[in-house]
């Protein structure tokens, strides 16, 4: 239901008659309906009867038999107490066949002394539905995500589903914003180890679509279980400015600008030497017996870190370790923890990238006492040696743009700068339980 016309004239505090025409979006009037308009003026609540209520029997009969498509309601005199102020916020309700509720605002756009025009600005109820989808709509939502069209039969959808099955990727948490059962936007939340989750959005092509995507993301994130997921992450390209606005509207915070770097490894990088960091430094490889050593070494490297400091303290250290293990193909022989006696100095974690001839530097961090002594350079030389020994041709990494010491080290080691992405995060409260939400399967 919409307000189709509003007219008012008056000066200063002179009473202003308002003629309001009510109708539906398809042009039909409110024939035979009883209308009640609630006006809020300067905090005073006025209920003004209109429509067939309050009219004589003859007048009601005339209105019922009228051929006009609009049903006109002449409200009683309204005294304007604050020109230019948002004086009216009515709730317009009808009985009988119309059961919708419209919240609107009437603004008086006029000079301070003279009320010479009245402008209507109404807020329609949000007709969009935000749903977790299953069945045929699940594939249609994936089509929207992958191609920009909600086509469940697109070959890209089948290819992606097959890939997800091969990688044991959970793609059940798929959401869609629907208007009249047509998908307007979609979102996929993919859980991963370490109580994290990655958010993938369909394209947000213009600013007018930001609010829809923002509400979709917010609805999906707010029903996640904080005991199962602590961080929802999203990575954005530089040109995804509307997607960024949507995430901010949903409550995501900026984490970092990540710079991706890579270096090709050649035969000259391969040596037979073992990692030697000095007589006082002991190097441990990963094992369950060394779990606490790695945990303490990682925590020691977080002190005064420049590497995504907003993540500090959000997750338990064992969840952090689980997340690092899941980043590629884990091999305990490629994980190193450094100690000087019982004092943790840092760690270097390398994983092989699945289906690629490359290793990823998952994490390199040193405790404050170990920085500036050349340990980082020696560890990186060993990383390139390991990469060559495993017959991989590349080593890759992502580094926080603000971590200048690390960036300078990698550049000196021959790493080339690649693309830059913006990392956004949504942190869930551990007390937040998964709540029931509106699911749809067809």
Inform me whether the pLDDT recorded for 93 exceeds 70: no
Q: Which residue has the higher pLDDT, 356 or 104?
A: 356
Contact residues for 225 (Cβ-Cβ < 8 A; gap 6+): 428, 432, 433, 434
Asked if CATH classification 1.10.10.10 holds for the domain at 129-253+432-440, the reply, yes or no, is no
Q: Residues 312-335: what's their mean pLDDT?
A: 95
Report CA-CA distances (Å) from 142 to 135, 157, 204: 11, 6, 15
pTM, two decimal places = 0.69
The dotted CATH code for 266-392 is: 3.40.630.30
pLDDT confidence tier of residue 323, bands split at 50, 70 and 90: very high
pLDDT in tens, 164-213: 999 899 999 999 999 887 999 999 999 999 999 999 999 999 999 999 99
Q: Which residue has the higher pLDDT, 74 or 408?
A: 408
- For the chain, which residues make up each domain, given as ranges? 2-123, 129-253+432-440, 266-392
pLDDT in tens, 262-284: 999 988 888 877 788 888 999 99
Inform me whether the pLDDT recorded for 289 exceeds 90: yes
pLDDT in tens, 106-124: 333 322 222 233 333 444 5
pLDDT, mean over the chain: 76
Q: Residues 30-51: what's their mean pLDDT?
A: 35
Domains 129-253+432-440 and 266-392 are alike in CATH topology: yes
Using the structure block, give the residue that is written with the tokens 């051929």: 67
């Amino acid at each position: 239901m919409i307000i189709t016309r509003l007219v008012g004239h008056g000066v200063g505090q002179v009473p202003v008659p308002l003629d309001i025409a009510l109708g539906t979006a398809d042009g039909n009037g409110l024939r035979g309906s009883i209308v009640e308009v609630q006006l809020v003026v300067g905090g005073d609540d006025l209920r003004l009867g209109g429509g067939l209520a309050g009219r004589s029997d003859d007048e009601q009969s005339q209105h019922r038999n009228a051929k006009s498509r609009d049903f006109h309601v002449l409200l009683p005199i309204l005294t304007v107490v604050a020109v230019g102020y948002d004086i009216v916020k009515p709730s317009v309700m009808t009985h009988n066949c119309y059961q919708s509720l419209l919240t609107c605002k009437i603004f008086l756009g006029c000079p301070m002394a003279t009320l010479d025009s009245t402008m209507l600005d109404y807020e329609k109820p949000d007709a969009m539905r935000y749903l977790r989808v299953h069945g045929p709509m699940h594939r249609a939502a994936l089509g929207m995500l992958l191609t920009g069209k909600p086509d469940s039969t697109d070959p890209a959808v089948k290819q992606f589903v097959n890939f997800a099955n091969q990688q044991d990727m959970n793609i059940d948490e798929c959401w869609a914003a629907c208007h009249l059962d047509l998908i307007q936007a979609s979102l996929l939340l993919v859980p991963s180890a370490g109580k994290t989750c990655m958010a993938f959005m369909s394209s947000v092509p213009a600013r007018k679509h930001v609010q829809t995507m923002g509400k979709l993301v917010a609805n999906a994130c707010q029903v996640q279980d904080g005991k199962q997921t602590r961080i929802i992450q999203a990575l954005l390209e530089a040109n995804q400015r509307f997607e960024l606005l949507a995430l901010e509207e949903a409550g995501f915070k900026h984490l970092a600008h990540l710079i991706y770097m890579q270096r090709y490894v050649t035969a000259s990088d391969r040596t037979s030497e073992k990692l030697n960091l000095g007589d006082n430094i002991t190097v441990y490889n990963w094992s369950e017996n060394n779990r606490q050593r790695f945990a303490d070494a990682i925590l020691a490297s977080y002190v005064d870190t420049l590497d995504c400091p907003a993540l500090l303290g959000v997750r338990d250290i064992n969840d952090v370790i689980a997340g690092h293990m899941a980043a590629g193909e884990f091999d305990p022989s490629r994980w190193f923890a450094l100690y000087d006696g019982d004092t943790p100095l840092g760690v270097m974690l390398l994983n092989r990238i699945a289906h690629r001839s490359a290793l990823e530097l998952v994490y390199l961090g040193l405790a404050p006492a170990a920085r500036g002594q050349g340990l980082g350079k020696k560890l990186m030389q060993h990383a390139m040696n390991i990469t060559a020994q495993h017959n991989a041709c590349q080593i890759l990494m992502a580094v926080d743009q603000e971590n200048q010491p690390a960036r300078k080290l990698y550049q000196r080691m021959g790493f080339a700068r690649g693309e830059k992405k913006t990392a956004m995060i949504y942190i869930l409260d551990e007390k937040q339980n998964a709540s029931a939400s509106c699911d749809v399967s067809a």
